Structure 1
Amino acid sequence: MNDLEVHGGELRIGTHLRSRALVELLFPGAQGDVVRTVPIDVSQRLDDGGWRLRGAAHDFEVTATWALQQGQHCAYTNVELVVRSTAASVQACAVRVRFELTGMGTPTWLIPGAFYKENRLAHCTRIYPRYDPEGGDAQQLVSASWSFRSDRAALPAVFAWTTEGCAALATTEESAVGMTGVGFAGSANERAIWLNFPYREEPVVFLAPDTPGPPERPVFHFQRDAPMTLHFRVYLAGPDLHAYNPLVRELYELERHDHPLNPWMNTREAAELTAHGLFTWHYHPEEALLYETAAFDREGGKADRPNMHVGWVSGAPYAHALLTYGRAHNRPEYTQAAISVLDKISTGVAPAGMFWGEWRHDRGWSHGWTPHKGWIQARTISECTLFMLHALAAEKNLGVQHDHWRWAVQSNLDYVLSIQRADGSFGQYYAAESGEVMEWEGAGGLLWISALLHAARSFDVPSYRAAAVRAGEYYRAFVEDEFIYGAPEDVHLCPTSEDGYNAVMAFVHLYEDTRDERWLKLACRAADWTMTFRWTYNLRFPERSFLKQFAFASRGADQASPSNQHLHNYGLICLPEMLRLWTHTKDAYYLERTRDNLACFLQFVAREDGDFNAYKGMVTERYYNTNCFQSKGMLLTQSHAWSVGAVLYACQAVEGWPGTSTPDDLKVIARAGESV
């Protein structure tokens, strides 16, 4: 970054970025924006190696001070931008800081939590923003350029890669002129990244899948001689697609101290509440189900979803958590409920030998939310198999056998061994009747690795281990390509935070089983990618919004995906593996960000009936961080079995942690409500 130069009014930053203007001023016009630039009139090299640049045009004066910083993880440049109107009347416009990308090739993009590479594969059935260098129909959410509000991003930054390397601009959610924005363009005529002050959403607003809205182009009303000071950072790195990681780490370290955590309770209290909630509001003894949702409004349970997936949004992971809690705390009603659910799941084996995806109240065992009737999704049933194995092991330690659980688990494992491709892939969707793999693309099969390794130890079947290692060789490509996709049933082939959790679990387990350092490096890389979905800051919610009134601190929450833009707690499912990754690497970053994740979701666990309009022990699925699905600051008024169960699972994992050389650090997690 110390190779910033100014030649003939052009600003050049390394071989990555260039600009002929200090800023662009965007004035609203009848036919769209009127863009006016403020050129660089004066450039001054400072004693500390930085630069001060000045320019004046169109009744505005702009000063930019560039200061090189050598951080803990990377070098970057802080830029302070002072914009002042000299016009006699109010000037209504927006400010854009825009840099052209140098280098060859179609750029690769990253907006943490919101946009990954092309973001949506052309054949993906879920419709949400997609980048196409040839352009496209904005009403189909396809474009060669996009601008987004910063509150869609886990870190308000835009990264771009060309043959020259990686370049990034980063700012904060809010500025002196309102909410900020990030954007990029990559076409034959324009290749650039930018920041908007205030934000813009163009060419359309993403309101929900398949739902574009009209573009938003707010402006700020500049008063004469009332300077506005804006801040951003510039970062350059090499062409490695993992080059985002040093800056994400650096900005997390810089920002977190200004964005405190706000847990409402400690893990023991949260476990007690969520065990109560899962049993009281989601367990239905007459069908032995964990209903997927329970509405806050309990008017006869009319708005509940009386179905149960075997994994993912209900089923085995959360029945396992309830079972272990019931056993540990002498709550036989919890124990028996969990056993009845796991018994039910063990009966749901499809003709081809794998679990059915879902029990539906109106038709029994069914396929789930898959693209075609009769298809079973790999992630749902591999997660079910893994947590059935966890439950079997926990019960075996107490001298309790469940032969039918074991039979069902082995049926699934033997099935997946039979269809594993020579390159190691387990496929994405299976035909329930014939067992044929109906779709191979995607990383939905990642968790078979964890299940097979667990079973290889438990059942002493070497072929399970061999299959897991072959699969690791196949799925590593998704991690190395920084584009892991296919985990949730409802978003088809979209990159999601859930894909990251699965990759962390799989590669941590591979490392622990083989002690091969390759797998540990992949686990770290997967964890770093997952952290791009995790909020580094606390959102500023509207004053009268629900989340503002309850002082919800978003630091540590994860965006579900670029398609499902809301915050969720599913990251707790890999809390044990994240802690083990910390112990294997001694990298405190993994501990700190795992601590944030747990502390975040020790909020909004209903402490009593009526707490945030919920019933005791309920936990919502969605916290709305932006203008997607609902208004920013709203809360979904439904408790989800997986959301309750994930908190229960994570809290028990922390309480039962076997010990560490730095117990004070672990205490920060285990006693989050007292220590943070």
Structure 2
Amino acid sequence: MAAPALEVAILDAPDADFAVEIEVVPSPASGPALEPESGRSTWTATVRVTYAGSAPADAAVRISTRIPADDPWFLIPGAFYGENRPADNDRIFPRFQPGASSAADHAAMVSDEWHFRADRAATPIVFCWAASGQEGVALGGSEIGELGEQSIGFAAGDGFATLSLTAPAREHPVSYYGDGVPRPAESELHRFVPGETITLVLSLHGIAADRHDYDRVLRELHRGPGAAHPAAGVAPVAPVPSAPLVSIDDAAAIAAEGLTRWHFDPDPGVLLETVGFDREVTGGDGRPVDRQAMHIGWVSGIPWATALLQHAHRTSDAEAARIARSVLDFCTAELSPSGTFWGVWYRSGGWTQSWTRHPRGLHARTLGEATDFLVRTLTTHDDPQWRAAARSNLDAMVARQRADGNLGAVHDADTGEILSWEGSAGLAWIPALVGAADWDPRYLRAAERAGDYYAAFVLGEYLHGAPEDVDLAPTSEDGYIAVMAYTALYRATRQPRWLDLARRSAEWMLTFRYSYDVLFRPLTPLGAAGFSTRGADQASSSNQHLHAYGLICTADLLDLSAWTGDSWYRDRALETVDCFRQLLPERDGDYNAYRGMITERYYQTECFQPKGMVLTLSHAWSAGVLLLACEQLLARGEAAA
């Protein structure tokens, strides 16, 4: 395959005198390629732009390549997946739609052309396949280049797809800040002085017709030189300190204290979802800012009480065990009329539905995850009430499963009617069904039928709908539940098809995982702390912040490495454990928090908050998922990892 042709445009200075040199050379893969095929080539492009004018000129440089494409499919890891937002999604964020170019389209965040600042991407690269079953190309850059922050983007029209890198960064047609209100487009410029030459470096990749070929490219880039801070050969503005890491054992102790000291409320026995860092302004009880609510799973509830109970058992901590048991008792004491768990408990009104637009709706992922962890707990800590609750949930799901294996996405709390069959959230029920397979043979059969049904989402490279708060967006959490589902099926059956789906699910999930260290301004909290983003996950293309939820499948990734002999999954799992042993408050006052308070959000880009900030709320799941991963490593004898 010949190297894709490059074009260089000077933006906002059409009459200025610029000279351009382009050099494109083959670049060998830095790691072993998967199933090498002819035509999967990689090139390094060096573009030198010299300003020959007599007076300073303000301009930007855009480097592009284009291919014939009748039905293009785009991927920007962590930030954009195909159409990105289903047309009827109830949350507004950037959507690709051919031919959408009007002001009204852009006001609705719909366009046939998008350019994003590079730090929105888990790896700064944009992939494009010309059509289903056809080969494509990818164009990669770096967050920072000689002209500062850069952007990547794509456009489609007139039978072509165009991929580009722009320096300095610009966003078009609008900027996204985490809500449904588009911000004005951003257009940075560089002031060129006479005789100035700047150099921009990017990578070009030929990619196979199978869209999963992104995995090969991302592996190469992750292993490549400068991946820790891929600034195209340009050093950071100033040396960045490294945030200290606490040990695995200490991280577990800190996270457990966060749950017991801050999130547990003995009346009535819940793990409050969020707790404010600042206790002086809000008062000691924190009620003006602490969220007086608990989900049954997901952001609070059973999974993290389970992790706490595991920690208490290992450390012989009777008080932590009492707290964990009281939460599990409360969560299992009352089921919905349809036989499943409720979605959310509120202090003001008790148990009610999930966060969904469907009245009385209960979200499959939240309920499935809660049941999964309850079943896990029952293997070592049996309790009649807990077991009865788990069985009721499992029986309800088996009864509702559609003939094709779909387990439904949203269920009516009163009748059990499936209110939505859309998306792949039902994957979360598979580990629960597999975990209870020896209770009833129907459970494993139901899990396998579901595994067959949801395989199409994995093979189609478009898992979506797992978290309650972004409707049907593609998210990192969809990857987590797919990994947990297919590793559970393989663990139980040893059937190769489940192992292949587990592998592909993990590789899709890892598209959300940052492969480089974002450069923060030194006076921001993340910059001052030297926070390394490598190993953190973008929450979703809608929620563009970093989070730690990927720790939930630490053990699954370690198993996947052992089964396949591929260290990639293990290395990336441990990289995430390392990432979130940063910024842990070991003492009250550390990082403007109290010991055990762990944030949900690290802002690596301009979304929700300015880049470099952290959300000053401790989340129950943030402590719980770190505790879970640490306990999994400790149980495996990997405390030194």
Q: Distance in 2 between matches of 1:587 and 1:133?
A: 39
Mapped to 1, the partners of 2:331 and 2:207 lie a distance apart of 49
| C-alpha separation in 2, matches of 1:234 and 1:512 | 39
Find the aligned partners of 2:226 and 2:574 in 1 and give their Cα distance: 12
Q: Distance in 2 between matches of 1:390 and 1:476?
A: 24
**Partners of 2:227 and 2:516 within 8 A in 1:** no
Please give the per-residue CA displacement for 1:84-138, whole angstroms capped at 9, x wherever unaligned.
1111111211000111222x43100000000000000001111000000020511
Q: CA separation of 1:212/1:643 partners in 2, compared to 1, >3 Å: closer, same or farther?
A: same
Aligned counterpart in structure 2 of residue 266 of structure 1, from 247, 251, 271: 247
Task: Work out the number of aligned pairs and report it.
Answer: 612
1:396-435 equivalences under 5 Å are 401-435=382-416
Cα distance between partner residues in 1 of 2:244 and 2:85: 35
* DSSP-derived class of the 1:207 partner: coil
Q: Cα deviation per residue 1:386-423 (whole Å; 9 max; x = unaligned)? A: 0011111121xxxxx31000000000000000000000
TM-score under structure 2 length normalisation: 0.93
Paired with 2:158 and 2:399, the residues of 1 have a C-alpha distance of 47
Per-residue CA deviation, residues 509-551 of structure 1 (Å, 9 max, x unaligned), is 1111111111111111111111110000000012221100111
Once residues 517 and 503 of structure 1 are traced to their aligned partners in structure 2, the CA distance between those partners, rounded to angstroms, is 16
- TM-score of the superposed pair, with normalisation by structure 1: 0.89
Give the Cα separation in 2 of the matches to 1:415 and 1:531.
33
Aligned to 2:366: 380
Any conservation in 1 of the 2:476–2:539 contact (CA below 8 Å)? yes
User: Does 1:27 find its partner at 2:8?
Assistant: no
1:76 alignment partner in structure 2:
42
Q: Which residue of 2 aligns with 1:507?
A: 486
- Asked which structure has the greater CA Rg, the reply is 1
Contact 2:154-2:164 at 8 Å conserved across structures: yes
2:320 is the counterpart of 1:341: no
Q: 474, 484, 491: which one pairs with 2:470?
A: 491
Deviations 1:496-518 (A, max 9, x none): 00000000010111111111111
Deviation at 1:69, TM superposition (A): 1.5
1:357-383 Cα offsets, whole Å, 9 max, x none, are 011110000112111221000000000
Instruction: Provide, for residues 183-229 of structure 1, a one-character-per-residue CA deviation record: whole Å limited to 9, x for no partner.
Output: 11113365211111111100000012202100001111112222111
2:258 match: 277
**Corresponding residue to 1:573 among 552, 566, 574:** 552
- Tell whether the 8 Å contact from 1:198 to 1:219 is kept in structure 2 after alignment: yes
Instruction: Provide the rounded CA distance (Å) in 1 between the counterparts of 2:296 and 2:178.
Output: 27
- Give unmatched runs, 5+ long, in structure 2: 34-40, 230-240
Per the alignment, residue 236 of structure 2 pairs with none
Q: Verify the 8 A CA contact 1:327 1:335 in the aligned structure 2.
A: yes
Q: Which residue of 2 aligns with 1:40?
A: none
* 8 Å CA contact 2:74, 2:128 repeated in 1: yes
Deviation of 1:244 (Å)? 0.8
Give, in whole Å, the separation in 2 of the partners of 1:266 and 1:169. Answer: 39
CA distance in 1, matches of 2:477, 2:242: 23
Separation in structure 1 between the aligned mates of residue 391 and residue 179 of structure 2, nearest angstrom = 38
Change (3 A) 1:145 1:597: same
Question: Does residue 635 of the first structure (1) align with residue 614 of the second (2)?
Answer: yes
Distance 1:237 1:126, change over 3 A: same
Choose which of 123, 126, 130 in structure 1 pairs with 2:91: 126
Does structure 2 retain, via aligned residues, the 8 Å contact 1:181–1:198? yes
Q: CA deviation at 1:570?
A: 0.1
| TM-fit CA distance, 1:354 | 0.6
| Matching residue within 343, 348, 353 for 1:357 | 343
Q: How does 1:157-556 map to 2 (within 5 A)?
A: 157-163=125-131, 164-188=134-158, 191-255=161-225, 258-259=228-229, 262-298=243-279, 299-300=282-283, 301=286, 302-395=288-381, 401-457=382-438, 459=439, 461-556=440-535
Residue 49 of structure 1: aligned partner: none
Q: Deviations over 1:241-291 (max 9, x none)?
A: 101111100000015664498552111000011111110000001110000
Q: Partner of 1:407: helix, strand, or coil?
A: helix
- Which region of structure 1 is more displaced relative to structure 2, 134-143 or 307-316? 134-143
Q: Distance in 2 between matches of 1:131 and 1:217?
A: 21
User: Contact (CA 8 Å) 1:161, 1:239: kept in 2 or not?
Assistant: yes
> Aligned to 1:441, what secondary structure does the other structure show?
coil
The CA distance in 2 between the partners of 1:256 and 1:424, in whole Å, is: 45
Higher strand share: 1
SS of the residue corresponding to residue 456 of structure 1 reads coil
Separation (CA, whole Å) in 2 of partners of 1:607 and 1:256 = 32
**What is the CA–CA distance in structure 2 between the aligned matches of 1:224 and 1:585, rounded to whole Å?**
57
The answer (yes or no) to whether the contact 1:110–1:116 under 8 Å persists in 2 is yes
Distance between the aligned counterparts of 1:293 and 1:435, measured in 2? 30
My pick for the range that moved more, 628-637 or 91-100, is 91-100
Moved over 3 A (4+): 255-263
Q: Secondary structure at the match of 1:100?
A: strand
CA contact (8 A) 2:423 2:464 kept: yes
User: Aligned partner of 2:125: which letter?
Assistant: A
3-state SS in 1 of match to 2:50: strand
Taking the aligned partners of 1:275 and 1:519, their CA distance within structure 2 comes to: 34
Distance (whole Å) between structure 2 residues aligned to residue 605 and residue 371 of structure 1: 36
| TM superposition shift of 1:586 | 1.1
Q: Which residue of 1 aligns with 2:603?
A: 624
